[in-house]
Structure 1
Amino acid sequence: MNLPLHALDTAQFERAQQLLGDEWLAQDAELAPLLPVVLARGVGQDWHKSGTFRHHLVGVARALTLWQQPREVRLLGLLHSVYGNAFVDLVKFDASSERGDLRALVGEQAEHLIYLFCTISRTEFTQKLQAHATAADGTMEVAQGAQRLTLTPREVAAFAIVTMADAMEQWSSWQDDVYSRFPYVNPARQQSVHWASSLWPGPMRPTSRIVSQINGWGRALQHPVLRQQLPLPPMFAQCTAELTAGHEATAMSLYWSVIQMDQPLVEPDCAIAVLEQAVRLNPWVGEPQMVLAQLYLAAGRPQEAERAAASAVHCYSCWGNAWDKRVQWDAWMAWARIVRQSAQQGTWPDRLDKLNNMALRQEVAGA
């Protein structure tokens, strides 16, 4: 098979398992006290990309929790847009009059990060991060309104990690189009001309662009000063491996051709070959591996199915958010675990209607 599949990291999976379902946030001693506050500000009713603003904030906080970030960074993730910013016009706290209120809720350190994240030029920060334009001492100069501000290395690292989680939680093909070439967006594109691209939520393809950009932001954390500041996110081999933009785009197109059934439909060999190539080009997202595992099972190849499904579970355990947003992260995780268990136990049904009855009947080793 010669595929770059991942061994399942049991410790990483166990961290992810604790975050499955909605109840994890209510049980989180550091984040739970803030949930009633943000809900009272209407975040459960605000639209945001692939769901509501609440879904987005919780998804970002979940990823940061999975990445073992400290309290102030996780609070930044949960509240990263509450003062509004250039990317999101959703002001939940008035920065001119309510900073003290938020500071009393989250503490001075977390509120400082939240305020900076909302008021600096996120465009300039993201562009500089993408260009690895951090100073030798780990600082970065950015605009804050009409002023220039120098971010400390810890602030740069925190904002980079939150930016990675923020992008992965929300990005799909709709944002690929309306925010094309982010962070170098062309403001001249008119909706009346590009009306087809504007129709939300669009075809719900996975992004063709943002994962390689997240990869670049993560590799920026290999700066000798920045990598000492905070735990590195686990994807891309702790942000050391490179994913090129061309490989990402090609892998997504190959994956989507199978999902859209633009392959021969009687035998799975062509679809398997296409998905194997997608995994070779981008081994860092779980959905192509999970679909490949199911096809291996259908083709009577359980050992290969088990490896691919375990690798998919590993990828889901690293990200904490779905790449293919047609269904949510915990649903992808649940189905991949069923596929893996079936491959291990030889229980994949022959009858099509029996797929409707699938369930994780007992825990398998490591998953």
Structure 2
Amino acid sequence: MPLPPYPLDPGLFARAQSLLDEAWLSKDVDLAPVLPTVLARGVGQDWHKAGTFRHHLVGVARSLALWQQPRDVRLLGLLHSVYGNAFVDLVKFDASTERAGLQALIGDEAEGLVYAFCTASRREFIEKALAGQIGPDGTMPLARNDGGRVTLPARTVAAFLIVSMADTIEQWSSWQDDVYSRFPAPNDHRPQAVHWAASLWPGPMRPSGRMLHQINRLGLALQHPALKDLLPMPPVFAHCTQPLSAAADAASAALYWSVVQQDVPLVDVDVATGMLEQAVRHNPWVGEPRMVLAQLYLSAGRAEDAAQAADSALAAFCAWGNSWDKRVAWEAWVAWTRILRQSARQGTWPARLDKLNNLALRDGG
């Protein structure tokens, strides 16, 4: 059975290449003027899941830039937690005294989105989005964290869905699967003293076995008739049109991790190759299983299969702008995939292990 195709979009690849430069944010005409103010608040020193708060904010903004979101939505991504929220106790701007300053810096429209995102109940928003509880006109009533109520207009609902997708893919790994089990449902029934092993950060850094399914459902919510034409549709899940079931998400992650941990026969590549092929069939929307599969194909002398797998892996990485497997950064996954793609096209692969250390991109990949 052939693997699900994932064609590489040249325009998306070009945008992704521009974001591989660490200085991309300083060149963004909309985001660069805001960066010094954000950095001055110490975001590069704050812990946040798989890195620092700066890494997180920049990673979310990168996906939104790749998805060609308008200025106010990209600014929301860069500033989405700066007033604090119910999930992150990182208040970088005091909403009671500093809103006017942020409005002067980014404009009333963008600041209004940031304020609403930080003060509306994120948990209720996710619960309602997953349950399809979006009004016929695209609006959504929500509780506020201060006890009040707010009704989000349709464009704000669409922006929150897209930013939530980028926010989740940037940060979620198995550690959060364990400590935030069943999110967005409350998880206040598991004391740490009993479940201490799950609390040890950063844990084994497995890809999440459940959150891609949730991101998929947020994307599918963008197909609501009152929402679908308000903002550019993220290019993931075939522009948010194809479902990914919870079972398929879990099975793919388990198969992939079994190979990565070498919990399979190691003499031949056949078993590992078969497991990864099945992982891709379960979940064709992430790049890492396809990338590892490309390397196994190269090791087995299957250059044509390796080229197809590497192209598909690169297409997936370019669609997300963040990695699913958080052990290394998105840029590193893209870089190694381009090495595999180049080697497959040339029909070459090192016969000696030490020569893997010498590989370099030569043809632009």
Q: Could you list the structure 1 runs, at least 4 aligned residues long, displaced by more than 3 angstroms after superposition.
A: none
Q: Residue 228 of structure 2: SS of its match in structure 1? A: helix
Q: Which residue pairs with 2:201 in the alignment?
A: 200
Give me the whole-angstrom Cα distance separating, in 2, the residues matched to 1:120 and 1:232: 23
What does residue 95 of structure 1 align with? 95
Q: Distance in 2 between matches of 1:275 and 1:235?
A: 20
- Tell me whether 1:117 sits opposite 2:133 in the alignment: no
Residue 209 of structure 1 is matched in structure 2 by 210
- Secondary structure of 1:142's aligned partner: strand
Match of 1:140 in 2: 140
Unaligned runs of 5+ in 1: none
Displacement after TM superposition at 1:203 (Å): 0.5
Q: Distance in 1 between matches of 2:204 and 2:21?
A: 26
Distance (Å, rounded) in 1 between the aligned partners of 2:108 and 2:307: 48
- Match in the other structure for 1:281: 282
In structure 1, the residue matched to 2:77 is 77
Aligned residue for 1:221?
A: 222
Q: Percent identity, aligned pairs only?
A: 66
What is the correspondence of 1:39-54 to structure 2 with a 5 Å cutoff?
39-54=39-54
Query: For the aligned residues, what is the CA RMSD?
Result: 0.7
Q: Distance in 2 between matches of 1:82 and 1:359?
A: 40
Q: Give the structure-2-normalised TM-score.
A: 0.99
Letter aligned with residue 240 of structure 2: C
Q: Distance in 2 between matches of 1:57 and 1:346?
A: 40
TM-score (normalised: structure 1) = 0.98
Alignment partner of 2:34: what SS? helix
The farther-off stretch of 178-187 and 87-96 is 178-187
The whole-number CA distance in structure 1 between the counterparts of 2:258 and 2:175 is: 18
Measure the CA separation in 2 of the matches of 1:179 and 1:51.
18
Match of 1:16 in 2: 16
Other-structure match for 1:258: 259
Q: Deviations over 1:262-297 (max 9, x none)?
A: 111111000000000000000000000000000000
Matched position secondary structure for 1:32: coil
Residue correspondence of structure 1 range 267-278 to structure 2 within 5 A: 267-278=268-279
Q: Please state how far the C-alpha of 1:228 moved relative to its aligned partner.
A: 1.2
Measured in 1, the distance between the counterparts of 2:90 and 2:364 equals 42
| 2:33 counterpart SS class | helix
- Other structure's SS at 1:18 match: helix
1:224-271 Cα distance to aligned partner (Å, 9 max, x none): 110011001000000000000110001000000000101111110000
Residue 57 of structure 1 corresponds to 57
* Equivalence for 1:34: 34
Instruction: Give the residue type in structure 1 aligned to 2:235.
Output: P
Q: Are 2:150 and 1:163 aligned?
A: no
Shift, 1:347, TM fit:
2.0
Deviations 1:160-201 (A, max 9, x none): 000000000000000001011111132121111110000000
Which structure has more relative contact order (CA 8 Å, sep 6+)? It is 1
Structure 2: which 5+ runs fail to align?
Answer: none
* Distance in 2 (alpha carbons) for counterparts of 1:48 and 1:146: 27
Distance 2:162 2:188 in 1: 27
